[in-house]
């Protein structure tokens, strides 16, 4: 009798353990997994609103460079592009264009396309009032045009890819098309050149817009990678600057003197976490 009771108790304990374990596993599968800071989503995982260009729209591939012009890295990038007869698109920060106007002119002289990348890389620009967004973009375009008055500025790229519909609307009102990307080697994190080469080489497809940087940090590895992966890309694709006469690429319009932006919100927080 005692043995039978002990057996029933053991079986009951085992059944309860199985049930509790099953409930735990089911609850784990239903709950979202918390990600560590090392697994934080990249900017490219953010939703991209309608009206933002993510591919070239053709079989051509476009290389784009953010955060310049930079007195050390931009000349090196320009030299490499010139060596391989490649045209690219440079997304300029207004403060850098104002500081290095000769480099803006050098970019234009080599036949590259210009893109507005805000005044000071404000990652939160899209959450600011519309007039502040407009003031930031206008100030940037004015700095670029002060260096190269006739250069078209047909594109706008929001730092970090932190797009909002309002950003897209303001850019369009100023004659610029929002510009995102399809391939991001995360060179802003200063990885080894080999990692940049692998991501660009393996990730690029017909129509890809590739995100790279010629400013904002030490870009030696980017410059090294560029010179290394270009021959392979050129054997597979035609590399071109984004066209300034493409459908949807408007003409950047500067304000009349009576419409000069008075706000200085563009000097607000400069993003340290990048991805743009």
pLDDT tens per residue across span 18-33: 444 443 343 333 333 3
**Dihedral of the CA atoms 27, 31, 33, 34 (nearest 10)?**
-110
If one counts every other C-beta atom within 10 angstroms of the C-beta of residue 87, the result is: 16
Whether 147 shows a pLDDT value over 80: the answer reads yes
Whether 51 shows a pLDDT value over 90: the answer reads yes
Whether 223 shows a pLDDT value over 80: the answer reads yes
Distances (CA, A) of 72 to 99, 170, 185, 246, 268: 13, 32, 21, 32, 26
Q: Mean pLDDT in the chain?
A: 82
pLDDT band at 244 (very low <50, low <70, confident <90, very high): confident
Whether 250 shows a pLDDT value over 50: the answer reads no
pLDDT band at 47 (very low <50, low <70, confident <90, very high): confident
At 185-202, the pLDDT tens digits run: 999 999 999 999 999 999
Q: What is the largest CA-CA distance in the chain?
A: 101
What's the CA angle centered on 236, arms 80 and 67, to 5 degrees? 40
Q: Does domain 46-267 have CATH number 3.20.20.370?
A: yes
Q: Are 78 and 212 in contact (CB under 8 A)?
A: no
Contacts within 8 Å (CB) and 24+ apart, 221-225: 221/187, 221/190, 221/191, 221/192, 221/193, 221/196, 222/73, 222/77, 222/187, 222/193, 222/196, 223/73, 223/76, 223/77, 223/80, 224/193, 225/185, 225/187, 225/193, 225/194, 225/196, 225/197, 225/200
Residue ranges of domains in the chain: 46-267
- For residues 128 and 132, what is the distance between their CA atoms, to the nearest angstrom? 6
| Strand ordering across the sheet containing 153-156 | 52-53, 177-179, 153-156, 113-116, 89-92, 62-68, 209-213
Of the candidate ranges 47-56, 76-85, 189-198, 242-251, the one whose mean pLDDT is the lowest: 242-251
- Of 5, 247, 216, 187, the closest CA to residue 117 belongs to 216
């Amino acid at each position: 009798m005692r043995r039978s009771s002990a057996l029933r108790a053991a079986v009951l304990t085992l059944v309860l353990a199985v049930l509790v374990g099953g409930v735990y596993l089911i609850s784990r599968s239903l709950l979202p997994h918390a990600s560590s800071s090392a697994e934080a989503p990249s900017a490219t995982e953010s939703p991209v609103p309608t009206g933002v260009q993510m591919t070239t729209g053709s079989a051509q591939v476009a290389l784009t460079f953010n955060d310049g012009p930079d007195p050390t890295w931009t000349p090196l990038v320009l030299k490499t592009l010139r060596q391989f007869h490649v045209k690219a698109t440079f997304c300029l920060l207004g403060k850098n264009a104002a500081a290095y106007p000769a480099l803006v002119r050098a970019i234009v002289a080599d036949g590259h396309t210009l893109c507005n990348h805000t005044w000071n890389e404000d990652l939160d620009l899209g959450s600011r009032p519309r007039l502040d967004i407009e003031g930031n973009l206008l100030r940037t375009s004015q700095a670029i045009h002060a260096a190269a008055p006739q250069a078209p500025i047909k594109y706008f790229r929001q730092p970090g890819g932190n797009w909002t519909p309002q950003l897209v609307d303001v850019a369009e009102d100023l004659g610029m098309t929002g510009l995102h990307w399809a391939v991001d080697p995360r060179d802003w994190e200063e990885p080894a050149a080999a990692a940049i080469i692998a991501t660009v080489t393996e990730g690029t497809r017909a129509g890809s817009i590739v995100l790279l940087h010629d400013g904002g940090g030490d870009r030696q590895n980017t410059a090294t990678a560029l010179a290394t992966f270009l021959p392979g890309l050129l054997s597979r694709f035609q590399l071109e600057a984004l066209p300034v006469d493409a459908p949807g690429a408007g003409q950047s319009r500067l304000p009349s003197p009576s419409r000069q932006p008075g706000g200085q919100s563009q000097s607000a927080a400069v993003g340290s976490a990048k991805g743009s």
